[in-house]
């Protein structure tokens, strides 16, 4: 396989993975929205980290979630907390919860600068001293204060910590999402019979079908600049696209298997007939050539001319080459034996065809139907069956990478292909952008 063909094959398989991952991600997103998974994970994370008591009635985590600024982010009163809390809001809530522990008159200035940054910083420091000796919370707030020379720096330190902590939470969330994606993708791969090994084999051998996917991949890349947005509409569009591609996936019905089996038998009969015709024409032409060679002396033919005009693989049988008559008769007998065997094979295949037609036309799932169905989908040998299950597993593992991963990879491969096919245009773009 040439480099261009291999690249096209990669693009075709990556496109399939992207479409399947989009469907799986859409199902997972629907699951998250239905059960408020993101909201619950965020709330659980903050409650577990800030589990120490804030006052006699609640912990720091509950105090954070009970703050009016957090409550305002809810879609409706009484619902689970928000799915996302901006860093600025979180910092404001922490500053307020710590500072509110200080009496409004304590440490207050008498001049107009009583609400200045220095006073806010002082109140936060005083509020930390009033927190009971809870190691995690108190140490965390002291670290904020130690790295800040002003109230603005204090706020920025809290925001930076929160952003970094949410990055770690996102990492945990993504790892958990991959597990969910696997258990969504594996049943889909089995139910849809999406076998990676079979797909690779099919598109490696079918250049026209492979070209359709490559063309579609270029369209997808140009029409979908933002692959990070995974929603129900995009998932439905991916399903519709998969349906129109005519990929070798899914399970064939009994009727379809019957048609495939019948076509296979008829093709085999045609193949045998073709061999018989070719052998008959060759044999007859050879004996015709022999007959002409016998008449060379009368017709003016030369041996070379005779062999050239009647070349048929029986050149060595020409009487002018001193081949015995017994050898000619032996070849005639072998030819007749070949014809008899071929005719017998055709009769057997015709009988099998009639039997298959009768079985597949009935409503009874006979043994012939079951065997043909199993052979078509799972192969004959244990090795072929193993490859089917391995193909499903590879498909499921690929889907766990997510639609964004495969889209970025698709963009990269499509750009490599386009740059290779159109170097002048690609160089123009680079120079223009440089």
What is the tens place of the pLDDT at every residue in 124-178? 888 888 887 666 888 898 899 888 888 899 999 999 999 999 999 988 888 989 9
Lowest mean pLDDT among 129-138, 227-236, 343-352: 227-236
Per the structure, the complete domain to which residue 142 belongs is given by: 36-171
Same domain? For 305 and 322 the reply is yes
Q: Hey, what's the torsion of the CAs at 345, 347, 348, 350, to 10 degrees? A: 120
Same domain? For 183 and 148 the reply is no
Same domain? For 241 and 272 the reply is no
Residue 99 lies in a domain: yes
Residue 381 has phi, psi (to 5 degrees) of -90, 160
Residue 388 lies in a domain: no
Residue 345 or residue 366, greater confidence? 345
| b/e sequence 219-232, b meaning 16+ C-beta within 10 Å | ebbeebeebeebee
Domains in the chain, number: 3
Residue 390 lies in a domain: no
Same domain? For 264 and 244 the reply is no
pLDDT at 235: 57
pLDDT at 397: 95
Same domain? For 247 and 264 the reply is no
Same domain? For 41 and 100 the reply is yes
pLDDT at 201: 92
Same domain? For 163 and 206 the reply is no
Same domain? For 166 and 200 the reply is no
pLDDT at 184: 95
Per-residue model confidence as pLDDT tens digits over 254-311: 667 766 667 777 777 888 878 777 776 656 555 554 444 444 444 444 555 554 544 4
Same domain? For 46 and 162 the reply is yes
Same domain? For 40 and 166 the reply is yes
Pick from 55, 88, 91, 93: which is nearest to 71 by CA? 93
Residue 84 lies in a domain: yes
Q: Of the residues 137, 154, 171, which one is the last residue of a structural domain?
A: 171
Per-residue model confidence as pLDDT tens digits over 382-423: 899 999 999 999 999 999 998 889 999 998 999 988 886 444
Residue 374 lies in a domain: no
Same domain? For 133 and 26 the reply is no
Q: Of the residues 109, 142, 171, which one is the last residue of a structural domain?
A: 171
Residue 89 lies in a domain: yes
Pick from 98, 258, 87, 59: which is nearest to 162 by CA? 87
Q: Enter the tokens of residue 401.
A: 């990478």
Same domain? For 286 and 245 the reply is no
Q: Of the residues 171, 200, 230, which one is the last residue of a structural domain?
A: 171
Residue 381 lies in a domain: no
Residue 355 lies in a domain: yes
């Amino acid at each position: 396989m040439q480099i261009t063909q291999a690249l096209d094959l990669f693009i075709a398989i990556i496109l399939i993975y992207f479409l399947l991952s989009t469907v799986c991600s859409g199902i997972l997103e629907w699951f998250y929205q239905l059960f408020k998974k993101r909201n619950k994970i965020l709330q659980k994370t903050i409650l577990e980290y800030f589990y120490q008591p804030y006052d006699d009635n609640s912990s720091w985590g509950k105090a954070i979630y009970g703050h009016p600024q957090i409550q305002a982010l809810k879609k409706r009163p009484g619902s689970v907390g928000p799915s996302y809390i901006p860093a600025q809001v979180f910092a404001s809530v922490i500053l307020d919860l710590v500072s509110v522990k200080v009496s409004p008159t304590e440490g207050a200035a008498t001049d107009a600068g009583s609400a200045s940054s220095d006073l806010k910083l002082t109140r936060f420091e005083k509020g930390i001293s009033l927190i009971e000796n809870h190691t995690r919370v108190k140490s965390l707030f002291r670290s904020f204060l130690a790295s800040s020379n002003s109230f603005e720096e204090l706020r920025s330190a809290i925001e930076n910590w929160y952003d970094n902590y949410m990055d770690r939470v996102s990492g945990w969330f993504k790892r958990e999402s991959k597990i969910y994606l696997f258990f969504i993708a594996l049943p889909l791969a089995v139910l849809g019979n999406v076998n990676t090994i079979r797909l690779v084999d099919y598109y490696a051998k079918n250049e026209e079908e492979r070209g359709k996917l490559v063309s579609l991949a270029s369209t997808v890349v140009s029409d979908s600049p933002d692959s990070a947005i995974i929603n129900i509409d995009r998932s439905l569009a991916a399903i519709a696209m998969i349906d129109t591609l005519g990929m070798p996936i899914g399970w064939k019905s009994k009727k379809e298997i019957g048609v495939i089996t019948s076509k296979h038998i008829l093709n085999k009969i045609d193949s045998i007939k073709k061999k018989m015709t070719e052998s008959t024409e060759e044999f007859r032409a050879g004996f015709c050539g022999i007959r002409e060679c016998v008449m060379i002396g009368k017709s003016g033919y030369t041996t070379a001319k005779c062999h050239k005009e009647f070349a048929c693989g029986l050149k060595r049988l020409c009487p002018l080459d001193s081949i015995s008559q017994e050898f000619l008769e032996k070849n005639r007998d072998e030819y007749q034996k070949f014809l008899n065997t071929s005719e017998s094979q055709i009769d057997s295949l015709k009988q099998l065809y009639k039997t298959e037609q009768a079985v597949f036309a009935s409503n009874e799932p006979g043994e012939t139907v079951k065997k043909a169905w199993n052979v078509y989908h799972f192969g004959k040998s244990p090795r072929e069956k193993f490859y089917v299950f391995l193909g499903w597993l590879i498909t499921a593992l690929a889907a766990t990478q997510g639609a964004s991963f495969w889209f970025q990879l698709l963009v990269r491969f499509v750009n490599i292909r386009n740059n290779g096919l159109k170097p002048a245009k690609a160089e123009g773009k680079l120079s223009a952008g440089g």
